[in-house]
């Protein structure tokens, strides 16, 4: 038994090297296709009421958007990917097919406000979740993450990582259009 543990570093390293080899071999083109489906799909979206980033006195509640398709976007100013994603969100907002609810994850309101002023505000409402409590209910472990919630308040799709226009059309818009 005593000998076995000396193998551990080597095995760990080789596994890691294997992952890199796979990464090189796959030489991915465009976004990945495979998705690990979240267990939340098909479940009702957990309700929340949080202060708004824009005005802490104004509560933001998911219930207000019942009856509409909602894109719940988890973002933060410290998140590099979110900056690229922001333009896509602005485009989605312009199309006007869904309401976009932002969940500002583990962030500071002044920074978030500055961000929205500078880059434009794509959100119908932005909730401030500095402790990440609500994000916890949604199984968020990083930013950005995106949830598509149908008019009945059920989560129909989850995308981990930045939304691109391609992902939006393929995974989100198709579901919205398909339902109506």
Candidate residues 62, 112, 138, 144; the one interacting with other proteins per rule CB under 8 A: 144
Size of the site for other proteins (CB under 8 A): 43
24 binds other proteins (CB under 8 A): yes
Cross-sheet strand order for the sheet of 99-105: 125-129, 99-105, 70-75, 145-149, 155-160
d(CA 135, CA 132): 5
Quick check: 33 binds other proteins (CB under 8 A)?
A: yes
Considering beta carbons, is residue 45 or 135 the nearer one to other proteins?
135
Nearer to other proteins, 28 or 96 (CB): 28
Binding of other proteins by 175 (CB under 8 A): no
Distance CA 89, CA 133 (A): 24
Of the candidates 1, 15, 27, 39, which one interacts with other proteins according to CB under 8 A? 27
Say if CB 47 and CB 63 are below 8 A apart: yes
């Amino acid at each position: 038994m005593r000998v076995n543990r000396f193998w551990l570093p080597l095995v760990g390293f080789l596994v890691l090297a294997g992952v890199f080899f796979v990464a090189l071999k796959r030489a991915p083109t465009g976004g990945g296709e495979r998705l690990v489906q979240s267990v939340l799909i098909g479940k009702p979206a957990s309700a929340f009421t949080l202060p708004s980033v824009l005005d802490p006195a104004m509560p933001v509640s998911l219930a207000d958007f019942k009856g509409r398709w909602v894109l719940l976007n988890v973002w933060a100013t410290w998140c590099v990917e979110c900056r690229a994603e922001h333009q896509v969100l602005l485009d989605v907002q312009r199309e006007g097919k869904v309401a976009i609810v932002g969940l500002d994850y583990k962030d500071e309101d002044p920074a978030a406000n500055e961000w929205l002023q500078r880059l434009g505000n794509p959100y119908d409402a932005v909730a401030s979740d500095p402790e990440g409590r609500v994000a916890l209910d949604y199984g968020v472990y990083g930013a950005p993450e995106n949830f598509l919630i149908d008019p009945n308040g059920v989560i129909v799709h989850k995308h981990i990582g930045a939304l691109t226009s391609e992902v939006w059309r393929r995974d989100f818009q198709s579901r919205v259009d398909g339902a109506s």
